A and B are shown apart, each in its own frame.
Chain A
Amino acid sequence: MNDMTPVTTTLKDWETDQEVRWCPGCGDYAILKAVQRTLPQLGADPANTVFISGIGCSSRFPYYMESYGFHTIHGRAPAVATGVKLANPDLDVWLVTGDGDGLSIGGNHMMHVLRRNVNMQIMLFNNEIYGLTKGQYSPTSRPGTTSPSTPAGSVEAPASPCAFALGSGARFVARGYDVSKDLPEVLKAAHAHKGAAFIEIFQNCIVYNKDVFDDFTQKKTAPETQIWLTDGEPMLFAKGTKGLALDTGTLTLKVVDVVDGDWQGAGVMTHNAKSKTLAHMLIEMPFGPFPMALGVIYDNPAPVYEDMVHARNAKDAAGKSTDFAALLRKGQTWTVSGTAQDPI
């Protein structure tokens, strides 16, 4: 996020006159609305906001936001955004990417933008498939995914976006999903974080990977299958009847039953968003035996890259002459007058 004077806008102010070209029923519509709903609440200024994307369905996002936008090339949005932030740290930059764009062709740039801690919000739409190219399996596809390029099912182990982010040194890792009513809260927390804020957003590709997240996004089963994390609050789900506790024997998390709200008695831990160890455990919990960890998993700010660069530049430049003519004359010079030469 950036320090800024709040500007009053409405959701409508963030809509462009461009026809939205995602497939009917695509999860991207819900995410677009969530972002357009969130920005007025943040007091964001469209003139100071820049959406930067790579290539893929998700990366069409900037065309639909009435702000500045740059639809770049496949995988390279983090690098372009880094240049933008170094040139003008005051801009409020949102990066939009997908599982293919951000973790496959652009995995390298994703690692480095997180490691450097460039101040921006990174929304990775994870639909576990290549949608724009008509349905090939992606680096986050589950083993056995059948697709045009894997007619008998894929065999690769999937990448975990949040684990990748954490391993790359991200200081903010959160999760949400397209139709979640809580997505704006996650976006707000990301915006409040100074530094690179990584948000994995599960997104339903209605054409090529339909309902692949139904196991935890169905309204009916959501309480049992989702755990929403809040820093300092007990890690409870299933309407408070279950919680996460530490199994000290195996150093892993375990699900415990909570009777009559006595979570302390059940050994349920409170969430500590500054604990990287806990973040790893929450991200790596196998879904099924465990619920899906959602919300702000890790939030532990560190110095921001572009601030450090500019401070270093200022320090380097301090007290040095800015006389360009003098720079050209630097080093050992000699004067030629006619043909006589006097080394000086």
Chain B
Amino acid sequence: MASQTASTAAPDTPSGQTEAVVVRFAGDSGDGMQLTGGQFTLSTALAGNDLATFPDFPAEIRAPQGTLFGVSAFQINFGSTAIETAGDAPDVLVAMNPAALKVNLAALKPGGLIIADTGEFTARNLDKAKYDHNPLDGDELAKWDVLAFDISALTLEAVKPFGLGNKEALRCKNMWTLGLALWMFDRSREPIHDWLKQKFRKAPDLAEANIAALDAGHAYGETAEISGPLKQYHVAPVESDPGLYRTITGAESISLGLVAGAQLAELPLFFGGYPITPASAILHHLANLKEFGVTTFQAEDEIAAICAAIGASYAGQLGITSSSGPGIALKGEAMGLAVMTELPLVIVNSQRGGPSTGLPTKTEQSDLYQAVYGRNGDAPLPVIAARSPADAFECAIEACRLAVHYMTPVMLLTDGYIANAAEPWKVPDPTGFAHFPAKFLSEKNATDVDGNDTLLPFARDEKGARPWIKPGTPGLMHRIGGIEKAQGTGHIDYSPANHQAMTDARKDKIEGIASDIPDQDVCMGNTSGKLAVVGWGSTFGPIHQAVRRARKKGIDVSHIHVRHIWPLPKNMGELLAGFDNVLIPEMNAGQFKTVLRDQFLIDAQSLTKTSGQPFAIAEIEAAIAAYFDDVDGNEGGQVDVNDTQLPSPEKAQS
């Protein structure tokens, strides 16, 4: 509901009570915008608001200062109703320099508020941002409210007592800005104080200086001798299920979910990884969880990372590897080995813009083909997609369960947006989780024609899974490998009938998982009707909000969100057949659409987006509206979405 209701928070409403607000902090990549956003998120969560965030930063660690491509932004949408996206258009834009203003201005809602640091609007910085004049002068920003003051000077003044150098003192700017934002939205400063003390515990001077800057920004808001647009916003707490909450990012929740999965399987966890954006955070989190039986291995490359995980699974641990698109491509052959040798393995793919190096820090869902089809030979494996940071926890557990139960590699899809974004998470009680302990074969499992005990490493249970046999087990010596092997014995066997039978067995095993997963539900709307919007992964938020808005307008549209991409839930075909139309918004060129068309012979239609930015709610709303001409208040479904889309730096430059 973000941008719809946020309009009630027009800045000229004094101390307006609003449902949801979108704030975008933008500055130079060295200005600490991600830090500012992160702390604002924390204080917002503590204030009991539901929230969603969208960090948007350049691929360069330290892009040249003041340039358009060096702009780093952090957007947060928070409010007193359920929030599922980071919001379309910001209500408030904090621009720490001219480049940040230029890149982000297009996204700002008309009537929104710009807070700009005049101290950075120097001739040099204007030039770097390719402005031939100062936009703060004149009336080009007239459709917005502008609050421009010298944050740099105010910060320097606030931290003067601490005797910092000019450069160090200016680094406190982000805290000053955060202080102002905390005042605007009636947030407590206490958690930030505590955090600063902790962060700078070895340099109490810096802690005090940052606290002073934060307090000064807050005080500025409170006592500002300006009667302009600077007014406090109250955003009431959201009504949530009772319980204990924390904020969580996707990378954290996947890491915790994997540890939970290993614990429920009663196995040590082995994680093989290689640094890659945006997947590295999982390696970092797990490296700090050794006390839960976790071993992390930073391999020499992506291939070694998955191969070591396969080796660990072979030796009886739960092998896990993680990467992003290009790294997943490198792991493809090894995934085939895990399919062929039927060993448990979890592969986490934090998708990013592709192909090739693509857009390392931007989000996309374009690895679905790679996940479902991307291996040589007929090499089916289960694919699960997380819809949000919090959902990733359950998905990670489910991936571990399937891997161990079915002796198969499982791919867990997430993306850059989920990995980096934060949302409140109701902390689950793990005592209620169902265990799925791994079973290892301890003695021979068959009898030969002469009545002697014998070992069949590729005998199958009722689910089609083979036994897991740890090397080191007396009497069960056997050989496995990537060459086609005979049914039962696992000996090398290239014979036509055997390859046919083994290909079928591997396929049947994976397809059988459809009976072991929940039926597909409809998460909003009716179970049949004119239009189903079918999504997967991180498009959940914008789809859900768009469907909610459409339904409020009286449109009969349903939202179906798929977790189990492969195999699909067994009622999927029947469910989709109940709708006249199926629309699939996805951040790729139409990959899930292909899968659904293939599986169910339905005329599924795509809404695609590959700009590196998440869908705006309005984009999906417009696509829904196009199916309904007869709805009151619907002007034919043509909505110009460009004004409310999050901008890309490239777009702003052009």
Distance (whole angstroms) from the CB of B288 to the closest CB of chain A: 8
- Tell me whether B304 and A82 are in contact (CB under 8 A): yes
Q: Which of A66, A82, A317, A332 contacts B311 (CB 8 A)?
A: A82
Residues of B within 8 A of A68 (CB): 471-472, 477-479
> Residue B256 at the A interface, CB < 8 A?
yes
> Residue B308 at the A interface, CB < 8 A?
yes
- Tell me whether A339 and B337 are in contact (CB under 8 A): no
Q: Which of B48, B259, B260, B474 contacts A334 (CB 8 A)?
A: B48
- Tell me whether B245 and A76 are in contact (CB under 8 A): no
In addition to A46-B477, A71-B479, 5 A-B residue pairs with Cβ atoms within 8 Å of each other are A79-B304, A83-B297, A87-B312, A316-B291, A330-B246
Residues of B within 8 A of A70 (CB): 311, 314, 341, 479-481
Residues of B within 8 A of A224 (CB): none
Could you give 21 example pairs across A and B, Cβ below 8 Å? A63-B481, A68-B471, A69-B477, A70-B481, A79-B311, A83-B272, A83-B313, A87-B270, A91-B315, A91-B472, A324-B260, A324-B263, A331-B246, A332-B42, A333-B246, A334-B244, A334-B245, A336-B244, A341-B47, A341-B48, A343-B48
Closest to A89 in B: B315
B222-256 Cβ-contact flags toward A at 8 Å (1 or 0): 00000000000000010111111111000000001
- Tell me whether B304 and A87 are in contact (CB under 8 A): no
The CA of A107 and the CA of B230, in the complex, are separated in Å by 63
The CA of A63 and the CA of B301, in the complex, are separated in Å by 28
Residues of B within 8 A of A47 (CB): 471-477
Residues of A within 8 A of B242 (CB): 335-338
Closest to A330 in B: B246
User: Would you list which residues of chain A between 29 and 82 have a CB under 8 Å from chain B?
Assistant: 46-48, 50, 52, 55, 62-63, 65-73, 76, 78-82
> Residue A181 at the B interface, CB < 8 A?
no
B463-500 Cβ-contact flags toward A at 8 Å (1 or 0): 00000001111111111111100000001100000000
Interface stretch (choices B60-68, B423-431, B552-560, B646-654): B423-431
- Tell me whether A343 and B479 are in contact (CB under 8 A): no
- Tell me whether A71 and B480 are in contact (CB under 8 A): yes
Residues of A within 8 A of B305 (CB): 79
Q: Which of A66, A84, A343 contacts B188 (CB 8 A)?
A: A343
B residues touching A (Cβ–Cβ < 8 Å)? 42, 45-48, 188, 191, 237, 239-247, 256, 259-260, 263, 268, 270, 272, 288-292, 295, 297, 299-301, 303-305, 307-317, 319, 333-334, 336-337, 341, 427-431, 470-483, 491-492
Residues of B within 8 A of A341 (CB): 47-48, 237
A76-111 Cβ-contact flags toward B at 8 Å (1 or 0): 101111111111101100000000000000001101
- Tell me whether A334 and B479 are in contact (CB under 8 A): no
- Tell me whether A87 and B483 are in contact (CB under 8 A): no
Distance (whole angstroms) from the CB of A13 to the closest CB of chain B: 10
- Tell me whether B471 and A325 are in contact (CB under 8 A): no
Q: List 3 tightest A-B contacts by C-beta distance, closest first.
A: A83-B311, A71-B481, A83-B308
Q: Which of A65, A82, A83, A84 contacts B471 (CB 8 A)?
A: A84
| Contact A86-B477, Cβ < 8 Å, known A47-B472, A320-B291, A334-B46 | no
Residues of B within 8 A of A78 (CB): 304
Residues of A within 8 A of B46 (CB): 332, 334, 343
The CA of A336 and the CA of B426, in the complex, are separated in Å by 9
Residues of B within 8 A of A133 (CB): none
> Residue A277 at the B interface, CB < 8 A?
no
- Tell me whether B471 and A91 are in contact (CB under 8 A): yes
The CA of A14 and the CA of B240, in the complex, are separated in Å by 65
The CA of A249 and the CA of B246, in the complex, are separated in Å by 72
Distance (whole angstroms) from the CB of B242 to the closest CB of chain A: 5
The CA of A21 and the CA of B347, in the complex, are separated in Å by 35
- Tell me whether A112 and B304 are in contact (CB under 8 A): yes
The CA of A266 and the CA of B289, in the complex, are separated in Å by 62
- Tell me whether A88 and B316 are in contact (CB under 8 A): yes
> Residue A251 at the B interface, CB < 8 A?
no
Residues of A within 8 A of B316 (CB): 87-88
> Residue A152 at the B interface, CB < 8 A?
no
> Residue A192 at the B interface, CB < 8 A?
no
- A interface, size bucket: 35 or more
Residues of B within 8 A of A84 (CB): 311-312, 314-315, 471
- Tell me whether A79 and B308 are in contact (CB under 8 A): yes
Residues of B within 8 A of A46 (CB): 477
Closest to A321 in B: B291
Q: Which of B42, B307, B309, B428 contacts A328 (CB 8 A)?
A: B428
Q: Which of A71, A316, A333 contacts B427 (CB 8 A)?
A: A333
> Residue A322 at the B interface, CB < 8 A?
yes
> Residue A18 at the B interface, CB < 8 A?
yes
Residues of B within 8 A of A63 (CB): 479, 481, 492
Interface of chain B, helix or strand or loop or mixed?
mixed
The CA of A195 and the CA of B243, in the complex, are separated in Å by 52
- Tell me whether A108 and B301 are in contact (CB under 8 A): yes
> Residue A12 at the B interface, CB < 8 A?
no
- Tell me whether B246 and A109 are in contact (CB under 8 A): no
- Tell me whether B312 and A109 are in contact (CB under 8 A): no
The CA of A52 and the CA of B472, in the complex, are separated in Å by 14
- Tell me whether A332 and B243 are in contact (CB under 8 A): no
Distance (whole angstroms) from the CB of B373 to the closest CB of chain A: 19
The CA of A65 and the CA of B479, in the complex, are separated in Å by 9
- Tell me whether B307 and A83 are in contact (CB under 8 A): yes
- Tell me whether B315 and A87 are in contact (CB under 8 A): yes
The CA of A82 and the CA of B247, in the complex, are separated in Å by 36
Residues of A within 8 A of B291 (CB): 316-317, 320-322
Distance (whole angstroms) from the CB of A256 to the closest CB of chain B: 43
- Tell me whether B429 and A325 are in contact (CB under 8 A): yes
The CA of A316 and the CA of B291, in the complex, are separated in Å by 7
Distance (whole angstroms) from the CB of A183 to the closest CB of chain B: 23
Q: Which of A18, A76, A325 contacts B431 (CB 8 A)?
A: A325
The CA of A46 and the CA of B270, in the complex, are separated in Å by 25
- Tell me whether A83 and B472 are in contact (CB under 8 A): no
Residues of A within 8 A of B473 (CB): 47
> Residue A327 at the B interface, CB < 8 A?
yes
> Residue A329 at the B interface, CB < 8 A?
yes
- Tell me whether A88 and B492 are in contact (CB under 8 A): no
Closest to A46 in B: B477
- Tell me whether A80 and B295 are in contact (CB under 8 A): no
Closest to B237 in A: A341
Residues of A within 8 A of B191 (CB): 332, 343
Closest to B475 in A: A47
| Contact A73-B48, Cβ < 8 Å, known A79-B311, A86-B312 | no
The CA of A182 and the CA of B106, in the complex, are separated in Å by 78
User: Would you list which residues of chain A between 122 and 136 have a CB under 8 Å from chain B?
Assistant: none
The CA of A182 and the CA of B67, in the complex, are separated in Å by 68
Residues of B within 8 A of A62 (CB): 479, 481
The CA of A36 and the CA of B289, in the complex, are separated in Å by 42
- Tell me whether B303 and A76 are in contact (CB under 8 A): yes
- Tell me whether B308 and A328 are in contact (CB under 8 A): no
- Tell me whether A112 and B292 are in contact (CB under 8 A): no
> Residue A313 at the B interface, CB < 8 A?
yes
| Contact A73-B334, Cβ < 8 Å, known A66-B477, A87-B311, A112-B300 | yes
Distance (whole angstroms) from the CB of A53 to the closest CB of chain B: 8
The CA of A138 and the CA of B236, in the complex, are separated in Å by 71
The CA of A33 and the CA of B566, in the complex, are separated in Å by 47
The CA of A23 and the CA of B46, in the complex, are separated in Å by 72
Closest to A64 in B: B479
Distance (whole angstroms) from the CB of A109 to the closest CB of chain B: 6
Residues of B within 8 A of A317 (CB): 290-291
- Tell me whether B300 and A108 are in contact (CB under 8 A): yes
The CA of A341 and the CA of B295, in the complex, are separated in Å by 38
The CA of A343 and the CA of B333, in the complex, are separated in Å by 49
The CA of A48 and the CA of B470, in the complex, are separated in Å by 10
- Tell me whether A73 and B482 are in contact (CB under 8 A): yes
Residues of B within 8 A of A81 (CB): 311
Q: Which of A79, A91, A314, A331 contacts B307 (CB 8 A)?
A: A79
The CA of A339 and the CA of B243, in the complex, are separated in Å by 11
Residues of A within 8 A of B270 (CB): 83, 86-87
> Residue A207 at the B interface, CB < 8 A?
no
